């Protein structure tokens, strides 16, 4: 697997999706026909910033990326045990509701000193939602790390992207 550092999470997403679309030359004749006919893909996210960023990245691929909220697709509960399961749950839900191929992701921070927490619970770590959630999640994370020496505060950002052609 190609492991590189990326300057932004968006660049990581772009490289991952670019590999997916570049891979079309290795598809069978039937798969290539299906691939080339794809014009509309639903983004299984209500995040407008994510939609804008991914639209810009996929523009040259002639992909019409549509937000699930534009088609009144509800958010689905993330009941998976890891990032891949949650991304797949979201992609399956959007695909099933619309009949369109779907792109979904799940991401979060894994802190070594906390045994990998908050992990898949990163967005709701402080138990709140809304405009203050990010700030409150950061406060909770720093509180949980207050006894951990700075040199032991290692972590990584994980992001899993799923592309689902049909359910």
Catalytic residue among 2, 72, 106, 112: 106
Of 10, 101, 84, 92, whose CA–CA distance to 47 is shortest? 10
Q: What is the spatial distance between Cα 165 and Cα 42, in angstroms, rounded to a whole number? A: 10
Residue 112 is among the residues annotated as catalytic for this protein: no
DSSP state of 73: P
> Which candidate, 41, 68, 51, 62, places its Cα nearest to that of 13?
51
Q: How far apart are CA 38 and CA 118, in angstroms?
A: 36
Report the distance separating Cα 26 and Cα 120, nearest Å.
33
Residue 143 neighbours by CB distance under 10 Å: 10
Helices 48-58 and 9-22 sit at what angle, rounded to 10 degrees? 50
Q: Which residues are catalytic?
A: 106
């Amino acid at each position: 697997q190609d492991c590189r550092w990326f300057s932004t999470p968006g660049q990581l997403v772009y490289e991952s999706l670019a590999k997916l679309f570049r891979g079309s030359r290795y598809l069978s004749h039937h798969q290539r026909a299906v691939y080339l006919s794809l014009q509309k893909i639903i983004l299984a996210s209500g995040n407008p910033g994510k939609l804008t960023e991914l639209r810009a990245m996929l523009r040259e691929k002639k992909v019409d990326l549509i937000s699930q909220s534009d088609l009144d697709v509800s958010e689905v509960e993330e009941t998976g045990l890891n990032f891949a399961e949650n991304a797949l749950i979201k992609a399956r839900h959007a695909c099933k509701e619309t009949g369109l191929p779907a792109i979904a992701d799940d991401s979060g921070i894994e802190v070594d000193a906390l045994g990998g927490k908050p992990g898949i619970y990163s967005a709701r770590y402080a138990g709140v939602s809304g405009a203050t959630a990010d700030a409150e999640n950061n406060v909770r994370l720093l509180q949980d790390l207050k006894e951990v020496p700075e040199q032991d505060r290692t972590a990584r950002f994980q992001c899993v992207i799923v592309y689902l052609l049909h359910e």
